[in-house]
Amino acid sequence: MMRRLATAAALTALMATAVALLPSGERASASFGGSSGCVTLPATAKLKVTLLRVHRATQSAETKTTGPVGRVYYGRCPNAFYALATFHHRTPQVDFGGQDQPERLRRKVGGTWTDRGDTGGFVCEAAPKALLKLWNLLENCD
């Protein structure tokens, strides 16, 4: 019993230290991934602007891109930050809306955001399973 309490106390202290090391805009919300080390984070206005900028860089000059539209899923696992965001696309010929979205975005700790492409609507491999579980997005995954 004492060993379990000591282990729980050590894990709590470790998580508190990890959260304290995050920039203030990336403090964890109340959703923790237990032993996975993944946490959900609030999608701030600044983050949304950054994700739009990163995603726009992957589009052609003629494509008008807006968003993120709706909920942005954002979180961190031990080695990287992950986001799922939906963007709308329109060219002079076609309004694609949010076709094939959400988009998968990732930033390694200490790195920059990269757009890993759209999910085609299938989010099961968009982020680590522990984070998808925290986002309540695992129900259709095998």
DSSP string, 1-68: -HHHHHHHHHHHHHHHHHHHHS-GGG---S-B-GGG--EE----HHHHHHHHHHHHTTS-TT-EEEEE
23, part of any domain = yes
Q: Residue 33: its pLDDT value, please?
A: 52
108, part of any domain = yes
What is the total count of domains within the chain? Answer: 1
Number of Cβ atoms within 10 Å of the Cβ of 97: 13
Q: What is the pLDDT of residues 31-47, one digit of tens each?
A: 555 567 999 999 999 99
Q: Residue 141: its pLDDT value, please?
A: 82
83, part of any domain = yes
Higher pLDDT, 22 or 115: 115
Q: What is the pLDDT of residues 59-109, one digit of tens each?
A: 999 999 999 999 999 999 999 999 999 999 999 999 999 999 999 999 999
40, part of any domain = yes
From residue 11, how far is each of 8, 14, 17, 26, 82 by CA, in Å?
A: 5, 5, 10, 20, 23
141, part of any domain = no
43, part of any domain = yes
The whole-chain average pLDDT of the chain stands at 82
58, part of any domain = yes
Q: Give the separation between CA 81 and CA 60, rounded to whole angstroms.
A: 26
Q: Residue 54: its pLDDT value, please?
A: 97
Domain that holds residue 64: 2-134
139, part of any domain = no
Q: What is the pLDDT of residues 108-137, one digit of tens each?
A: 999 999 999 999 989 999 999 999 999 999
Q: Residue 20: its pLDDT value, please?
A: 42
User: What pLDDT band is residue 21 in, cutting at 50, 70 and 90?
Assistant: very low
